[in-house]
Structure 1
Amino acid sequence: MADTLFKDLERRMKGAIDSLKHEFSGLRTGRANTAMLDPVTVDVYGAMMPINQVATVSTPEARMLSVQVWDRSNVSAVEKAIRNSGLGLNPMTEGATLRIPVPELSEERRREMSKVAAKYAEQSRIAVRNVRRDGMDDVKKLEKDGEIGQDEAKKWSDRIQKLTDDMIAQIDQVLAHKEKEIMQV
């Protein structure tokens, strides 16, 4: 029983780290990356949709993104969403295609990106801690119901805490790598 609980907690904590890595892939580092536009949502057809559901995003050059909008009537909505995304991108419209040059990051912009990365990392830490809390609650419930003894509950609590510490250390490591990548000129 407790082993399946532990595996589930570990899976959920790893999910928080995977989510963080996905968020980081969308952060700009000076090179064009199709994942940069993943957080952008477009107001089309009366709903907010991810950009990859209304257009094809590609990188024809190292410092250029190309967004091929499938429905010509949505071009202005996609352009507006990219401009308002806070990514500092300025698309140029050519028919149903948006060309987005990726400007060199200034020192100030690099610092802003580092702060955004730190915010994403903190959200992941919070997610891991929430999973830990759920695990601790489950262990307490098992102890209260008499399924495990006090010593075993203490052992499981210590294992959950160690897993949490390891996962937070991984988050810090991923953050340090991303900050180094962002600050690299």
Structure 2
Amino acid sequence: MSCEITSGRRTVPGGAVQETRFFHAHQDVAYPIPGQIIVTAKRHFCFLTEMSQAETSEFLPLVQRIRREQERQLGIEHVYYIYNEDTTHHFHLWMVPRYPWMARFGKSIEAVRPALRHAREQMSSEHHLAAVAEAAAKLRESLAREVEPDGHCDRYLRPETTASVAREALRHVIAPNQNPARSLDRPQSKDVSNSDIDNPRCR
């Protein structure tokens, strides 16, 4: 799935929010939380220590740009960063926003899993999907105004996907009547998302 997304063979529902020479950032569609972004490496590797010097130089500024726009455009004050080496996917970083409604699940990293489960099981209505699509569009448009330090700018840096198109795409991925009994501990099917937290070791 990651290979298809980063190569452009598969369109990400909701669209990418930014694409650079080495990385692809898009809204996480498995968990419909506005502004929850996955930053994925285009090259297939699993470990932070496997990043090239060029990838390393590009990675942190990209994450910083996204984080600034999460706060400026969406009012997100705090973010959990999750990086998992125990995966079959490309290297990727989850940027999970902390919203006030998540307080019921606690405040530590242990609260992330139940919050994600709640979002997947209870936040798939038209209203929620519209909010996710609108947030992705805002991030995409604000990030499109920024250019890479070397002047590189890919097609995904431009806001080509409108909120309505993104919302329609998200609806096909997260059906409003999907089975609420699904558990985070059970891997998603590959046609849904590349964002499962629990996966077999990549090596």
TM-score scaled by length of structure 1 = 0.33
Higher CA-based Rg: 1
Q: Normalized per residue, which structure has more helix?
A: 1
TM-score scaled by length of structure 2 = 0.31
Higher normalized contact order (CA 8 Å, seq sep 6+, divided by chain length):
2
